[in-house]
Protein backbone atom coordinates (compact mmCIF):
# COMPACT_ATOMS: atom_id res chain seq x y z
CA UNK A 1 0.00 0.00 0.00
CA UNK A 2 1.34 3.44 -0.91
CA UNK A 3 0.95 5.90 1.96
CA UNK A 4 2.01 9.51 1.52
CA UNK A 5 3.01 11.15 4.81
CA UNK A 6 2.65 14.92 4.65
CA UNK A 7 5.13 16.32 7.14
CA UNK A 8 7.10 13.11 6.81
CA UNK A 9 10.37 14.78 7.83
CA UNK A 10 9.04 16.05 11.17
CA UNK A 11 8.87 14.54 14.66
CA UNK A 12 5.74 12.43 14.16
CA UNK A 13 6.07 12.04 10.40
CA UNK A 14 9.56 10.54 10.48
CA UNK A 15 8.50 8.04 13.14
CA UNK A 16 5.36 7.19 11.16
CA UNK A 17 7.33 6.56 7.96
CA UNK A 18 9.63 4.12 9.79
CA UNK A 19 6.69 2.26 11.34
CA UNK A 20 4.86 1.89 8.04
CA UNK A 21 8.00 0.89 6.14
CA UNK A 22 8.72 -1.75 8.80
CA UNK A 23 5.27 -3.24 8.13
CA UNK A 24 5.98 -3.60 4.44
CA UNK A 25 4.16 -0.55 3.11
CA UNK A 26 5.50 2.09 0.74
CA UNK A 27 5.60 5.11 3.02
CA UNK A 28 6.53 8.26 1.12
CA UNK A 29 7.70 11.23 3.20
CA UNK A 30 6.43 14.47 1.68
CA UNK A 31 7.68 17.84 2.88
CA UNK A 32 9.59 20.82 1.53
CA UNK A 33 12.75 18.79 2.20
CA UNK A 34 11.56 16.22 -0.35
CA UNK A 35 10.33 18.78 -2.88
CA UNK A 36 6.67 18.83 -1.81
CA UNK A 37 5.27 22.22 -0.81
CA UNK A 38 1.64 22.04 0.24
CA UNK A 39 1.31 25.84 0.43
CA UNK A 40 2.31 26.48 -3.17
CA UNK A 41 1.14 23.09 -4.42
CA UNK A 42 4.55 22.31 -5.90
CA UNK A 43 5.15 18.56 -6.09
CA UNK A 44 1.86 17.64 -4.43
CA UNK A 45 0.15 15.97 -7.40
CA UNK A 46 3.29 14.03 -8.24
CA UNK A 47 3.69 12.79 -4.65
CA UNK A 48 0.06 11.68 -4.38
CA UNK A 49 -0.07 9.85 -7.71
CA UNK A 50 -1.01 6.24 -7.05
CA UNK A 51 -1.44 6.78 -3.30
CA UNK A 52 -3.90 4.65 -1.37
CA UNK A 53 -3.74 6.79 1.78
CA UNK A 54 -2.67 10.35 2.53
CA UNK A 55 -1.88 11.20 6.13
CA UNK A 56 -1.26 14.81 7.12
CA UNK A 57 0.87 15.19 10.24
CA UNK A 58 2.37 18.52 9.19
CA UNK A 59 2.28 21.59 11.42
CA UNK A 60 2.25 25.31 10.87
CA UNK A 61 5.67 26.95 11.16
CA UNK A 62 3.98 29.59 13.33
CA UNK A 63 1.61 29.12 16.28
CA UNK A 64 0.22 32.64 15.76
CA UNK A 65 -3.45 32.44 14.87
CA UNK A 66 -3.63 34.20 11.49
CA UNK A 67 -0.44 32.57 10.21
CA UNK A 68 -1.58 29.12 11.38
CA UNK A 69 -5.00 29.60 9.77
CA UNK A 70 -3.40 30.58 6.47
CA UNK A 71 -1.14 27.54 6.61
CA UNK A 72 -3.77 24.95 7.48
CA UNK A 73 -6.47 26.24 5.14
CA UNK A 74 -4.19 26.67 2.12
CA UNK A 75 -2.28 23.45 2.68
CA UNK A 76 -5.39 21.36 3.35
CA UNK A 77 -7.27 22.69 0.33
CA UNK A 78 -4.32 21.86 -1.91
CA UNK A 79 -3.97 18.39 -0.43
CA UNK A 80 -7.66 17.56 -0.60
CA UNK A 81 -7.90 18.63 -4.25
CA UNK A 82 -4.87 16.54 -5.18
CA UNK A 83 -6.13 13.58 -3.15
CA UNK A 84 -9.50 13.69 -4.94
CA UNK A 85 -7.78 13.86 -8.33
CA UNK A 86 -5.55 10.91 -7.39
CA UNK A 87 -8.49 8.78 -6.20
CA UNK A 88 -7.09 8.44 -2.67
CA UNK A 89 -9.26 6.10 -0.61
CA UNK A 90 -8.43 7.34 2.89
CA UNK A 91 -7.43 10.82 4.08
CA UNK A 92 -6.07 10.97 7.64
CA UNK A 93 -5.35 14.18 9.55
CA UNK A 94 -3.66 14.56 12.92
CA UNK A 95 -5.16 17.19 15.21
CA UNK A 96 -5.41 17.99 18.91
CA UNK A 97 -7.66 16.79 21.72
CA UNK A 98 -9.77 19.75 22.85
CA UNK A 99 -9.31 21.81 19.69
CA UNK A 100 -13.05 22.48 19.50
CA UNK A 101 -13.12 23.61 23.16
CA UNK A 102 -10.31 26.17 22.92
CA UNK A 103 -11.83 28.83 20.67
CA UNK A 104 -9.83 31.56 22.47
CA UNK A 105 -6.69 30.15 20.84
CA UNK A 106 -6.06 31.27 17.28
CA UNK A 107 -3.96 28.16 16.68
CA UNK A 108 -6.77 25.86 17.83
CA UNK A 109 -9.26 27.73 15.65
CA UNK A 110 -6.90 27.05 12.75
CA UNK A 111 -6.84 23.33 13.59
CA UNK A 112 -10.65 23.27 13.70
CA UNK A 113 -10.74 24.96 10.29
CA UNK A 114 -8.42 22.23 8.97
CA UNK A 115 -10.67 19.50 10.39
CA UNK A 116 -13.79 21.13 8.92
CA UNK A 117 -12.24 21.14 5.45
CA UNK A 118 -11.41 17.45 5.75
CA UNK A 119 -14.84 16.42 7.02
CA UNK A 120 -16.63 18.44 4.32
CA UNK A 121 -14.41 17.20 1.48
CA UNK A 122 -16.44 14.14 0.55
CA UNK A 123 -13.33 11.95 0.80
CA UNK A 124 -13.32 8.94 3.15
CA UNK A 125 -11.44 10.26 6.18
CA UNK A 126 -10.26 9.79 9.74
CA UNK A 127 -9.24 12.60 12.09
CA UNK A 128 -6.94 11.64 14.95
CA UNK A 129 -7.13 13.84 18.04
CA UNK A 130 -3.98 13.33 20.14
CA UNK A 131 -3.22 14.84 23.52
CA UNK A 132 -0.08 16.91 24.03
CA UNK A 133 3.21 15.10 23.45
CA UNK A 134 5.70 14.78 26.31
CA UNK A 135 8.16 16.34 23.85
CA UNK A 136 5.90 19.40 23.51
CA UNK A 137 5.52 20.17 27.22
CA UNK A 138 8.82 22.14 27.44
CA UNK A 139 7.34 24.49 24.83
CA UNK A 140 4.21 24.90 26.97
CA UNK A 141 6.44 25.74 29.94
CA UNK A 142 8.49 28.26 27.95
CA UNK A 143 5.36 29.98 26.65
CA UNK A 144 4.08 30.31 30.24
CA UNK A 145 7.34 31.66 31.68
CA UNK A 146 7.69 35.17 33.08
CA UNK A 147 11.22 35.68 34.30
CA UNK A 148 12.01 32.73 36.55
CA UNK A 149 8.35 31.89 37.19
CA UNK A 150 6.08 29.62 35.15
CA UNK A 151 2.33 30.27 35.39
CA UNK A 152 0.34 27.13 34.62
CA UNK A 153 -3.33 26.43 35.20
CA UNK A 154 -3.95 23.50 37.61
CA UNK A 155 -6.15 21.63 35.10
CA UNK A 156 -6.03 18.04 33.93
CA UNK A 157 -3.70 16.96 31.13
CA UNK A 158 -3.08 13.45 29.76
CA UNK A 159 0.08 13.66 27.63
CA UNK A 160 1.66 10.93 25.56
CA UNK A 161 4.98 10.04 23.96
CA UNK A 162 5.58 10.99 20.33
CA UNK A 163 6.38 7.33 19.58
CA UNK A 164 2.91 6.41 20.81
CA UNK A 165 1.31 9.15 18.74
CA UNK A 166 2.98 7.77 15.63
CA UNK A 167 1.86 4.24 16.51
CA UNK A 168 -1.73 5.38 17.04
CA UNK A 169 -1.77 7.24 13.73
CA UNK A 170 -0.31 4.20 11.96
CA UNK A 171 -3.10 2.03 13.36
CA UNK A 172 -5.73 4.44 12.01
CA UNK A 173 -3.94 4.77 8.66
CA UNK A 174 -3.96 1.00 8.15
CA UNK A 175 -7.62 0.66 9.13
CA UNK A 176 -10.76 1.55 7.23
CA UNK A 177 -11.84 5.21 7.19
CA UNK A 178 -14.02 5.94 10.22
CA UNK A 179 -15.40 9.25 8.89
CA UNK A 180 -15.16 10.55 12.44
CA UNK A 181 -12.70 11.60 15.14
CA UNK A 182 -10.53 9.06 16.97
CA UNK A 183 -9.12 10.29 20.29
CA UNK A 184 -5.80 9.01 21.65
CA UNK A 185 -4.10 9.87 24.94
CA UNK A 186 -1.42 8.84 27.38
CA UNK A 187 -2.03 6.38 30.21
CA UNK A 188 -1.86 8.92 33.07
CA UNK A 189 -3.53 12.16 34.01
CA UNK A 190 -1.69 14.97 35.75
CA UNK A 191 -2.37 18.53 36.80
CA UNK A 192 -0.66 20.79 34.28
CA UNK A 193 1.22 22.69 36.99
CA UNK A 194 2.37 19.42 38.60
CA UNK A 195 3.55 18.13 35.23
CA UNK A 196 5.50 21.34 34.74
CA UNK A 197 7.23 20.96 38.10
CA UNK A 198 8.04 17.33 37.35
CA UNK A 199 9.68 18.10 34.02
CA UNK A 200 11.61 21.09 35.34
CA UNK A 201 12.94 19.04 38.25
CA UNK A 202 13.89 16.22 35.89
CA UNK A 203 15.85 18.68 33.76
CA UNK A 204 17.34 20.39 36.85
CA UNK A 205 15.76 23.63 35.65
CA UNK A 206 15.60 26.22 38.47
CA UNK A 207 12.39 27.91 37.31
CA UNK A 208 9.47 27.68 39.73
CA UNK A 209 5.90 26.83 38.77
CA UNK A 210 2.90 28.72 40.13
CA UNK A 211 -0.59 27.22 39.94
CA UNK A 212 -2.51 30.04 38.29
CA UNK A 213 -6.15 29.45 37.36
CA UNK A 214 -6.07 32.53 35.12
CA UNK A 215 -3.00 31.41 33.19
CA UNK A 216 -3.58 31.22 29.45
CA UNK A 217 -2.69 28.28 27.25
CA UNK A 218 -1.52 29.74 23.94
CA UNK A 219 -4.17 32.43 24.32
CA UNK A 220 -6.96 30.19 25.64
CA UNK A 221 -8.55 30.01 29.06
CA UNK A 222 -8.55 26.42 30.32
CA UNK A 223 -11.40 24.61 32.05
CA UNK A 224 -10.83 21.50 34.15
CA UNK A 225 -11.09 19.06 31.23
CA UNK A 226 -10.15 21.22 28.23
CA UNK A 227 -7.00 19.18 27.51
CA UNK A 228 -8.19 15.63 28.22
CA UNK A 229 -10.20 13.30 25.99
CA UNK A 230 -13.72 12.05 26.45
CA UNK A 231 -14.44 8.60 27.85
CA UNK A 232 -13.60 5.85 25.39
CA UNK A 233 -10.37 7.34 24.04
CA UNK A 234 -7.64 4.94 23.00
CA UNK A 235 -4.80 5.03 25.53
CA UNK A 236 -1.10 4.50 24.90
CA UNK A 237 1.28 2.52 27.10
CA UNK A 238 4.28 4.77 27.76
CA UNK A 239 4.23 6.38 31.20
CA UNK A 240 5.96 9.66 31.96
CA UNK A 241 8.68 8.07 34.10
CA UNK A 242 9.40 5.51 31.37
CA UNK A 243 9.72 8.25 28.78
CA UNK A 244 12.00 10.26 31.04
CA UNK A 245 14.23 7.25 31.64
CA UNK A 246 14.47 6.65 27.88
CA UNK A 247 15.41 10.27 27.20
CA UNK A 248 18.28 10.07 29.71
CA UNK A 249 19.89 7.01 28.11
How is 199-224 classified by DSSP, letter by letter? HHHHTT---EEEE-TT-EETTEE--T
pLDDT for the residue numbered 218? 86
pLDDT for 103 equals 87
Q: What is the DSSP string of 109-143?
A: HHHHHHHHHHHTS-S-EEEEEE--BGGGHHHHHHH
Which helix (H) or strand (E) segment holds residue 80: the answer is helix 65-86
pLDDT for the residue numbered 8: 95
Q: What are phi and psi of 38, to 5 degrees?
A: -75, -20
Positions in the chain short of pLDDT 50? none
CB neighbour list of residue 109: distance below 8 Å, 6 or more residues apart:
65, 69, 103
Predicted confidence at residue 63, as pLDDT, reads 84
Residue 42 is predicted with a pLDDT of 96
Instruction: Please give the pLDDT value at position 248.
Output: 82
What was the pLDDT predicted at 208?
97
CA distance 63 to 97: 16
Q: pLDDT at position 125, please?
A: 98
Q: Quick one: which of 126, 181, 135 has its CA closest to 3?
A: 126
Amino acid sequence: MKIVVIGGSGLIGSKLVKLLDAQGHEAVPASPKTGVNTLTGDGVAEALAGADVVVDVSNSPSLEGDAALEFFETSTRNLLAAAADAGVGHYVALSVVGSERLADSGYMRAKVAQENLVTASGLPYSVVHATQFFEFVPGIIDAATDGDTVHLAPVLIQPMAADDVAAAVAEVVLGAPVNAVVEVAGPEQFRLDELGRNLLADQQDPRSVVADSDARYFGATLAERSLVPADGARTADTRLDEWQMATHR
